[in-house]
């Protein structure tokens, strides 16, 4: 299938499906689950934040400050973090481009563990930023990167904090997604809803109310305000 008058890219094809109601995109604020590979290499839920008792996740279009405390509950998990910090392995994760169950397309991402191994622990950078790009309810890009801020010592049975800003951008640009107005395609999708609404009586009612207010104001001015302030009536 080709997209007319557009470069036939993967994103254009997804937008074509979305605009023709072939499948749905994310709604603003909708929860986006993250899947990550477990210690055995199988896909499963993202790490659990013990402070919220829920998995690490995003919310479509919502700029927030991420705050997640992760428990290093086993030696196996600790050794895996050492592998990540040594860059001998990567914490592989993914998110669905669209929430539609009929079209499961994932966007790959990695949770970066930047640290230095010591004799009995590893020092890990706890500040991590999350950048996401989206267009018309579809995720078009994801990036997670560490920021040099403060390192924490991590050992088995300890807790390390993962925190940072989550920022959403429109399409391939760095224009804030939350600040953008609906584009022509979105307005075209809204027009059927506007046409179905019976807005003509509302407009007539507003015009009638305005006209009545002008008439009543003129009467009050003529018979009350002007007579009370007429210089000819003063002695």
| Residue 187 belongs to some domain of the structure | no
In a domain, 2, yes or no: no
Please give the residue range of the domain that contains residue 145.
10-182
Q: Report how far residue 131's alpha carbon sits from residue 103's, in angstroms, rounded to the nearest whole number.
A: 24
User: Is 193 within the bounds of a domain?
Assistant: no
Give the DSSP H or E segment for 133: strand 128-135
Let me know whether 130 and 210 are in one domain: no
**What integer best gives the mean pLDDT of the chain?**
80
Same domain, 52 and 166: yes
Pairing of strands 91-96, 35-37: antiparallel
Looking at the fold, whether 73 and 111 belong to one and the same domain comes out as: yes
Q: Do 202 and 177 sit in the same domain of this protein?
A: no
Q: For 33-87, write each residue's pLDDT tens digit.
A: 999 999 999 999 999 999 889 999 999 999 999 999 999 999 999 999 999 999 9
In the chain, what percentage of residues exceed pLDDT 90? 49
Q: What's the Cα-to-Cα distance from 213 to each of 206, 218, 225, rounded to whole Å?
A: 11, 9, 16
In this predicted model, which residue has the larger pLDDT, 64 or 219?
64
Element (H, E) at 138: strand 138-146
Mark whether 21 and 48 lie in a shared domain: yes
Query: Are 225 and 113 contained in the same domain?
Result: no
Same domain, 34 and 114: yes
Q: Does the pLDDT at position 186 exceed 50?
A: no
Number of domains in the chain: 2
3 domain residue, yes or no: no
């Amino acid at each position: 299938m080709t997209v007319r008058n557009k470069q036939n890219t993967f994103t254009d094809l997804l937008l074509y499906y979305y605009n023709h109601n072939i499948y749905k995109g994310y709604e603003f604020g909708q929860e986006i689950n993250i899947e990550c590979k477990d210690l055995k290499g199988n896909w499963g839920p993202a790490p659990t934040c013990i402070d919220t008792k829920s998995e690490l996740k995003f919310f479509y279009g919502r700029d927030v400050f991420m705050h997640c405390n992760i428990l290093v509950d086993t030696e196996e998990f600790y050794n895996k973090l050492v592998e990540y910090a040594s860059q001998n392995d990567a914490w592989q994760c993914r998110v669905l481009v669209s929430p539609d169950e009929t079209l499961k397309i994932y966007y790959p991402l990695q949770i970066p563990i930047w640290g230095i191994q010591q004799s009995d622990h590893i020092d890990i950078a706890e500040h991590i930023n999350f950048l996401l790009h989206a267009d018309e309810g579809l995720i078009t890009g994801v990036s997670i990167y560490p920021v040099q801020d403060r390192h924490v010592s991590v050992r088995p049975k300890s807790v390390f904090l993962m925190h940072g800003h989550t920022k959403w951008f429109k399409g391939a640009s760095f224009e804030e997604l939350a600040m953008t107005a609906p584009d022509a395609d979105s307005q075209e999708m809204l027009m059927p809803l506007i046409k179905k609404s019976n807005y003509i009586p509302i407009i007539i009612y507003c015009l009638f109310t305005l006209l009545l207010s002008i008439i009543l104001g003129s009467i009050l001015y003529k018979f009350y305000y002007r007579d009370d302030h007429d210089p000819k009536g003063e002695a």
